[in-house]
Amino acid sequence: MSNISSVVDAPPGLRAPTRRTVDAFTRTLHALLALSFVGAYVTAESEIFRWVHVNLGYTLAGLLLARVVWGVLGPRHARLSALWGKLSGLGVWLKGLRAGHASWSQAQNLYMAVSVALLLVSIAPVVLSGYVTYQEWVGDWMEEVHEFFGNFMLMAVLAHIGGVLALSFLRRRNLATPMLTGRVPGVGPDLIKRNHGLLALLLLTMVLSFWVWQWPSATQQQMSGNVDASHLAAGKAQSDEDDD
């Protein structure tokens, strides 16, 4: 109780104490995943920005690999085993629900864990189906598969965002803040000792470098596509004149 009052009654002009709960690398990875998916989804139906869609898909694949490596070799709070530990409580919660004494607090945590798991699991089929579609290895049906998984991932994203907003309202605190700033209000030691800022900078540099590296080839593909489109239009116009 004294900790809470010390934060609330902090003198004007002094910053309230905070604690680090999410490291910089995890936050950067989270932000790049979100931006890459949103960009890829927005440009999915655009022929003009097809190269953007494709390269953001490649970016998602690389970020998924980084997340798996971080989930195996990274700090304990970011481990995939920690996520699995949360998900493993689903069976116990369901038994409690059937018995009539399910924990509401546990249900909230399970919901967020399930939404994160669905997001991570959906990335691989989205990327793979998109790559097969782009290479035209199979028929047009793969494009429908790619669209299905893209919409599935969108639903998982919306469910995750909705959960963050709903729980922020119920708990009377902004649950999105730790993923934006890495810190939460409160006194005491940081829960995350190392910020991994250099790794975050390295990840961001690698992603930006990949986009810059892809820019010349993407521009060339775009110009080639415009030329092909103009040839098709000219051919159609000539065909119409011949028919007349």
* Helix (H), strand (E), coil (C) string for the chain: CHHHHHHHCCCCCCCCCEEECCCHHHHHHHHHHHHHHHHHHHCCCCCCCHHHHHHHHHHHHHHHHHHHHHHHHCCHHHCHHHHHHHHCCHHHHHHHHHHCCCCHHHHHHHHHHHHHHHHHHHHHHHHHHHHHHHHCCCCCHHHHHHHHHHHHHHHHHHHHHHHHHHHHHHHCCCCCHHHHHCEEECCCCCCCCCCCHHHHHHHHHHHHHHHHHHHHHHHHHHHHHHHHHHHHHHHHHHHHHHHC
Write the pLDDT tens digit of every residue in 158-182.
Answer: 999 999 999 999 888 888 988 899 9
Phi, psi of 18 (to 5 degrees): -135, 165
Mean pLDDT (whole number) for 128-146: 94
Write the pLDDT tens digit of every residue in 52-100.
Answer: 999 999 999 999 999 999 999 988 889 999 999 989 988 888 888 888 7
Whether residue 8 is predicted with pLDDT greater than 50 in this model: the reply is: no
Whether residue 242 is predicted with pLDDT greater than 70 in this model: the reply is: no
Amino acid identity of 37?
Answer: F
Do residues 198 and 33 lie in contact, with contact meaning Cβ atoms separated by under 8 Å?
Answer: no
What's the mean per-residue pLDDT of the chain?
Answer: 85
Whether residue 240 is predicted with pLDDT greater than 80 in this model: the reply is: no
% of the chain beyond a pLDDT of 70: 83
Whole-model pTM: value is: 0.82
Whether residue 37 is predicted with pLDDT greater than 90 in this model: the reply is: yes
pLDDT the model gives residue 39 = 96
Length of the chain: 244
CA angle at 69 for the pair 127 and 38, rounded to the nearest 5°: 35
Whether residue 239 is predicted with pLDDT greater than 90 in this model: the reply is: no
Do residues 71 and 105 lie in contact, with contact meaning Cβ atoms separated by under 8 Å?
Answer: no
Q: Residue 42 is encoded by which pair of tokens?
A: 């927005």
